[in-house]
């Protein structure tokens, strides 16, 4: 299975997917930690996370897949939402909570 196929399978199988540095329990960068905190504040229990630090192919592959240069990257219902800044803005405006409940 190619990296693109793996990513496609991950984002279509799970409603909320976070490509991040580290794990949900131990984020390895501030942006990933911020995104995890926001998702927790939204009450999401089943976050599928992918630690890009343990797989260089996924780390580059997700950037190519989304055409977005940074990590973390959030996908909801198979759609790319954005990185930490966009997730923060959407959370503050209430858009993220609406998107997650759809």
Binding-site residues sit at: 29
pLDDT, tens only, 59-77: 999 999 999 999 999 999 9
Angle between helices 3-13 and 56-66 (to 10 degrees): 70
pLDDT at residue 45 is higher than 90: no
Distance CA 33, CA 41 (A): 12
Distance CA 22, CA 20 (A): 6
CATH number for the domain that contains residue 94: 3.40.30.10
CA atoms within 13 A on the CB side of 38: 26
Binding-site residues for [2Fe-2S] cluster sit at: 29
Structural contact between residues 68 and 82, judged by C-beta atoms closer than 8 angstroms: yes
* Residues of the chain above pLDDT 90, percent: 93
The tally of domains found in the chain comes to 1
Residue 70: domain span: 3-101
Residue 95: the pLDDT is: 96
Provide the pLDDT confidence category of residue 9 given band limits of 50, 70 and 90.
Answer: very high
Residue range 70-90: average pLDDT?
Answer: 97
Residue range 31-35: average pLDDT?
Answer: 98
Distance CA 2, CA 15 (A): 21
């Amino acid at each position: 299975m190619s990296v693109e196929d793996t990513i496609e399978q991950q984002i279509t199988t799970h409603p909320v997917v976070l490509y991040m540095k580290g794990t949900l329990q131990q984020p390895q960068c501030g942006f990933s930690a911020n995104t995890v905190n926001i998702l927790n504040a939204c009450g999401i229990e089943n976050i599928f996370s992918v630690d890009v630090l343990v797989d260089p192919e996924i780390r580059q592959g997700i950037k190519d897949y989304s055409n977005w240069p940074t990590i973390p990257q959030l996908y909801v219902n198979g759609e790319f939402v954005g990185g930490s800044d966009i997730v923060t803005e959407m959370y503050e405006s209430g858009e993220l909570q609406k998107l997650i409940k759809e």
